[in-house]
Amino acid sequence: MTSTAWTFPIPGNRVQGFRDLLATLNRDHLPGLDTRAREVGYHRERMWLQPDDDGSAEFIVYLEFDEGVDLAAFSERLPAYESEFTRWWTPRFASFGLPRSFGEPLLSWDARTGSSAGHNDRKPS
């Protein structure tokens, strides 16, 4: 399984607006998200807000890709996919900012197998 994650900051004065956007997504637009995920090539998405002491928050996204889909394919497919859902979602989501890059996987451990995928094979200097 291939996965990715990314994060970006949400300013304190926009945290409630971001919560409201995600509430609307959950309430009214999950079928569109589902269709986009299937077309783009991922099957699991998780989103969190990690509050900061100053009232801002860090937005965190985690995705698991379908078999045969990697970060390069996803990075091409996502912005190219267009639908009624993306015409609603993309401008609203983008108004909060976009990640500058995808996260670097450092650990991928699975309790079921007791093994790590060893994403970070670099030795400390």
Please, which pLDDT band fits residue 102 given cuts at 50, 70 and 90?
confident
Rounded to two decimals, the pTM is 0.82
pLDDT, residue 117, reads 63
Domain of 25: which CATH number?
Answer: 3.30.70.1090
Give CA separation, 2 vs 62, 69, 79, 105, in Å.
11, 7, 19, 10
Strand boundaries in the chain, DSSP class E: 3-10, 42-51, 57-65, 109-110, 115-116
Inside any domain, residue 62: yes
Inside any domain, residue 121: no
Please, which pLDDT band fits residue 123 given cuts at 50, 70 and 90?
very low
Question: What is the span of the domain harbouring residue 93?
Answer: 3-116
pLDDT, residue 34, reads 98
Burial-class residue 36 by CB neighbours within 10 Å (0-12, 13-18, 19+): buried
DSSP 31: H
pLDDT, residue 98, reads 80
Inside any domain, residue 124: no
What average pLDDT is seen over the chain? Answer: 90
- pLDDT tens, residue by residue, 6-29: 999 999 999 999 999 999 999 999
Inside any domain, residue 123: no
Tokens 């007791």 found at = 114
Number of domains in the chain: 1
Inside any domain, residue 75: yes
Strand boundaries in 11-77, DSSP class E: 42-51, 57-65
Inside any domain, residue 76: yes
